[in-house]
Amino acid sequence: MLRAGAGTLATALWPARCLVCGDPGEDGRDLCGRCDRQLPWSGPACVRCGLPLPAALPGEAATCTLCEHEPPPIRHTHAAFTYAAPVDRLLPRLKFHGDLATGRLCARLMAERFAELPLPDALVPVPLHGKRLRERGYNQAREIAAPLAQQMGVPLRDRLLQRIRHTRPQSKLDADARQANLCDAFAVRDTGPLPAHVVLVDDVMTTGATLHAAAWALREAGVRRVDAWVVARAL
C-alpha cells in the first residue's frame, strides 16, 4: 500500500513527459501518443543475429545466410526496434549524457515487446570495464536490464560477467577490428551457481562483436544457452 501510494504521489508531482518531444506522456509512460506511433518496431529478422529479413511465414524462425554457415554463440537475438528515429536520438542520450529515464522507458517498451518470449534464468547486462565505468559513472546496459528484470520477474545477475580488458571504443572500428578488439575481453567471475539460460542485455547491436564475445565467455564457463535482448538493431 505504501509503495502504491508513493507511486501515485510521484505521478501527481512529476507527471509523465515525452522524452522525445516534451509533450505530456500517455499511459503512464514518458512517451506521447504521436511519438509512440513513430517508434520503429522491428519486423521479421534472423532469429540468430536479429538482422532484418524479408517477411517470413507466421511462426517461422528464419535464419540469415551468414548465421546458417557460421552459427553465432547466441541462440536467439531479439531487438525491440531498428536503430532509426526517434530511437536513434534517445539511446545516445542514455549512453553518453546520463539520461537514465531513457533506460527505464526502453526497459518498459522491451518488456511489452518481449512479453511472450520464454523467460531465462537470469538477465545479464553487458558490462563495462572498470575504467570506463568510472569515467561514465554508470553502465547504460545495466540501466536497461535492472528495470527490465523487475518488470519481467527475472533475476538480474549483474556481477556474473566482467569486462577484464579495457578496449578501444567499438564505434571507431570496422567489423574485423571490432572482433579483434574484444578478444578475451570478458570473463565469468561470479562464484555463485551458473544459470543454465542467460539473456544478455544491451542498448544497440551493430555487428554483434560485443555480444558474441560476451556470449562466448558465458558459454565457455558452462552456461548452456545464451540469448540477447537489445533495444535496437543497427542495419
Which residues touch 198 (CB under 8 Å, ≥6 apart)? 120, 121, 122, 123, 124, 157, 160, 218, 223, 225, 226, 227
Distance of CA 140 to the CA centre of its chain: 9
Q: Specify whether the CB–CB gap between 147 and 158 falls below 8 A.
A: no
Q: How far, in Å, CA of 196 to CA of 218, rounded?
A: 10
Q: Is 55 exposed, middle or buried (0-12, 13-18, 19+ CB in 10 A)?
A: exposed
| Integer CA distances (angstroms), 8 to 107, 108, 152, in order | 20, 18, 22
The predicted model scores a pTM of 0.88
The residue assigned the cell 569486462 is 163
* pLDDT for the residue 143: 98
In this predicted structure, what is the pLDDT of residue 90? Answer: 96
pLDDT at 189: 84
Mean pLDDT by 10 residues, the chain (235 residues): 40 75 93 96 94 70 90 97 97 96 97 97 96 95 98 96 79 60 83 93 95 96 97 95
Residues whose CB falls within 8 Å of the CB of residue 195, separated by 6 or more in sequence, listed in order: 120, 121, 122, 155, 157, 160, 223
Q: Which residue has the cell 532509426?
A: 84
